[in-house]
Amino acid sequence: MSTFAEALHQRILVFDGPMGTELYRHHIFTNRCFDELNLTDPNLIEQILADYREAGADVLTTNTFGANRSTLEKYGIADRLVEINKAGVRIARKIATSGSQSSGSNSPENSQENSQENSLFVAGSIGPIPSGTYTESELETIILEQVDALWDSGNGVDVILFETQPSREAMERAARAMIKRPKIPFVLSCAVVSEKESASGEPIARLLAPIPENLAQPIAFGMNCGIGPEGLLQATEEAVKITHLPLIIQPNAGIPKEFEGRQIYYSSPEYVATYAMRLANLGVAAVGGCCGMTPEHIREIAKMIKPLDKGRSAKIILHATQPEVKEQPETPFQDRSRLSWKFARRDWVTTVELVPPRGYDLTETIEKSRKLYRHGIDAINIPDGPRASSRISPLVVAQQILREANIEPILHFCCRDRNLIGMQADLLGCAALGIRNLLFVTGDPPKLGGYPDATGVFDTDSIGMSAVQRRLNRGVDLGGQALSPTHAVIGVGLDPTSLDRKRELDRFRKKIDAGAEFAITQPVFDPNALLSFLDAIGDCPIPVLAGIWPLASYRNAEFMQNEVPGVIVPDETMNRMQAVSKYSKEDQLAVGVEIAREMIAAVRHRVCGVQVSAPFGRVEIALAVLE
């Protein structure tokens, strides 16, 4: 089993939710010492942690948030400090090593995957310690006696979690104390309130600045409590620019409201899970919950995060070729399709995206395709279940467009819905139907769409499928057996506005190494972001098409900004759309088209063409952009 520090770099971990508000939900009121329940009501603590385990948590946190000498003295039980902390560890470890995770799903695939590691991680919780009445030496002693009780000579927790720390001073105090425990891994997590600051007014840049080298170094930074998902998302957008340490993000379930004497959190599990996915897209190492979160919130987070993470971490194994099988030469790139011929000549390429209909009547789709062909568009992009929607097979749509409209499709090929055997079968089907241009995408998690109980397969990702297709082009299948070579043109996606630029660049280079021959970007609204990304790539060896989305209205701009993963609409663009929001839809659309044309003009000298989306299926908008 990996260590906790290693796991932070291997996959996105799901933390459990809060203990305090769950105890309150179980009618344990705030005049009780919650930490003492480890001794007086261990069954209740076990039940809460078991609920989080069954919800899909990878990390369970001990019920020791206030089990320090300063807090326990208020209840007259400071002499039981070691006993309380060790009991908290014992309970968490018992639940972490018993049963099997459901990860928010009852599917056999998930059950098998989650049984591969019998134990979850256990984090030893240490909350803030009042500093006003103690010297620095006394504070260090208070910190270390709880650390020692939780760690227990290596037989206790997997990591010490200093959580809800109120200030940079408190975080550095913990790091200073841990100098005396150099072998114990620890995380520093601060509380963030409104305006992306601590309660004392310290900005994210100070809170998460590198810890001085003369202090012990945490294995990760965290932000928890204080604000809800939207606020911590904004704080995380700042944090990823500041620190290279893994980030653990645990928002509250929104802002509580008083109802009949109780503080109630109204953020739904689905709402919270959507933000968890956005946090994952920023590259955080772990997501969990703080005040107001329940096991149902964690269940929805796990259902959202784990399929997404599986797609990112899946590795594909191509079997060695059979002794008598040799790879054959690939068809020259320029001879595979009309699109690849234009790419090879470095001609300007125009493509338009058409989303397949939800029904099976393709009459309107074919007519739109014919119109695009008459206007000289080179190819039509056909998404594969965008945002996890269920639509007619895009392969069928691509076949009909090619046959009836005489225009080449670019078929998006998603790794979410099929296992490797099914995907190879469809790739061979594409070859049989003459569908040559393929764009491999990992795909959105099923939770995003209208079928939240569907499971994501994610046997591999876009990198792995690029490698599979290249091998098919060379006449060898997944199992190393010979077949007739296919002639596909291998495309991949690219997100130049990713806040985790290092990861995006690394993945893009891996896609090229795996066989990618062209790329299409996410919709880009900031030309400088795309140009800067291309500068970072250097001498890009494959053609890149810029994704262009003409905004139909200010409301459409808000949707793109807030609801579409991987899309960032600059403030300047939002302001331009907002300025005309009081006018007619036609006026708003005219500004959206103008912005799209400006975007193309700004990047034309650096890309090989564009993919223009047709908002709401209106191809005349896409054509207006390209005039």
Q: What are the residue boundaries of the structural domains of the chain, listed by start?
A: 4-313, 334-552+605-626
Longest dimension (CA), the chain: 84
Please name every residue paired with 123 in a beta bridge, in sequence order, or none if there are none.
61, 159
Amino acid at 533: F
Q: Between 463 and 147, whose confidence is greater?
A: 147
Instruction: Give dist(CA 231, CA 237) in Å, integer.
Output: 10
* Predicted structure pTM score: 0.66
Q: Between 29 and 315, whose confidence is greater?
A: 29
Q: Report the pLDDT value the prediction gives residue 590, as an integer from 0 to 100.
A: 95
CATH (one of 3.30.750.200, 3.40.50.2300, 3.50.50.60, 3.20.20.220) for 334-552+605-626: 3.20.20.220
pLDDT over 60 (residue 256): no
Tell me the average pLDDT across 518-538.
Answer: 93
Same topology, domains 4-313 and 334-552+605-626? Answer is yes
Provide the token pair at 549: 């989305």
User: What are the φ and ψ backbone dihedral angles of 379, each rounded to 5 degrees?
Assistant: -160, 160
Question: What's the pLDDT tens digit per position in 105-143?
Answer: 443 334 334 433 458 999 999 999 987 789 999 999 999
pLDDT over 80 (residue 385): no
CATH of domain 4-313: 3.20.20.330
Instruction: Give dist(CA 425, CA 280) in Å, integer.
Output: 31
Q: Between 394 and 415, whose confidence is greater?
A: 394
Mean pLDDT of the chain: 88
**Those residues with Cβ within 8 angstroms of residue 186's Cβ, 6 or more apart along the chain or in another chain:** 147, 159, 160, 161, 162, 174, 178, 216, 218, 219
Distances (CA, A) of 311 to 55, 319, 419, 480: 20, 20, 12, 23
Q: Between 354 and 443, whose confidence is greater?
A: 354
